[in-house]
Amino acid sequence: MLRSLHWIEPETYRRAKNKVNEMQRNYGWPTELFGDFQNSDSIDKYHKDDYLSIIDAFKNDSMDFYTIMNILRKGLENREAFRLLPVKADRKNFLQSPAMVNAWYQPERNSLTLPYAIFNPPFYNNDFPKAFNFAAQGGTSGHELVHGFDDEVVVAISTRSRDEVHLSKEAGPPITG
């Protein structure tokens, strides 16, 4: 697509191409945490302290399931946020559950994430023709990729002293067309 933009300046073209080439692509689930799902030891170890709170919440108050799940969800979100405080930023971090039906571009990490849930019906189905699945996922990926070049990200690049890849470097002129 970039090659068809005859108006684009050579330096802008180079930087845009570099940005896309350096983009972190996160698909499915974080393998560092979940592996290949053949062995659940890593996920069990990661959440070992959470299991007790789930059991305690139900034993202490057998309120309806929906309320318990909301309390636990918020508790897990808070604990996860605190777990990440001392950890260096990781471009491979999904930032949301792989069970979340969503897709996103993270400008400060220059990463595009398509979690596992978006590869399930109605967004993806092995019984559909490949062209349908390709179009659906390609449309979603393309939509998120374009966020890397929209006006909010261009302003972020020029005001935060970051380069087109969003790693801390001396900033050049913003990528514009």
pLDDT of residue 163: 60
pTM of the model as a whole: 0.67
pLDDT-wise least confident of 11-15, 62-66, 156-160: 156-160
pLDDT of residue 172: 46
Task: Strands of the chain (E only): list them.
Answer: 24-28, 104-106, 111-115
- DSSP-based three-state secondary structure for 159: helix
pLDDT of residue 73: 78
What is the band of 168 on the pLDDT scale with cuts at 50, 70, 90? very low
Q: Is the pLDDT assigned to residue 176 strictly greater than 90?
A: no
Percentage helix, strand, coil, to 5, in the chain? 50, 10, 40
pLDDT of residue 169: 46
Residue recorded with tokens 């999904």: 94
pLDDT of residue 151: 75
Would strands 104-106 and 24-28 be described as parallel, antiparallel, or unpaired? Answer: unpaired
Q: What is the pLDDT of residues 32-77, one digit of tens each?
A: 777 776 777 777 777 777 667 667 767 777 667 777 778 777 877 8
Going across the sheet that includes 104-106, the strands are 24-28, 111-115, 104-106
Q: What is the pLDDT of residues 96-151, one digit of tens each?
A: 888 889 999 998 889 999 999 999 998 899 999 999 999 999 999 999 999 988 87
- Of 30 and 48, the structure prediction assigns the larger pLDDT to 30
Kindly state the average pLDDT of the residues 79-83: 79
Kindly state the average pLDDT of the residues 25-36: 81
pLDDT of residue 78: 81
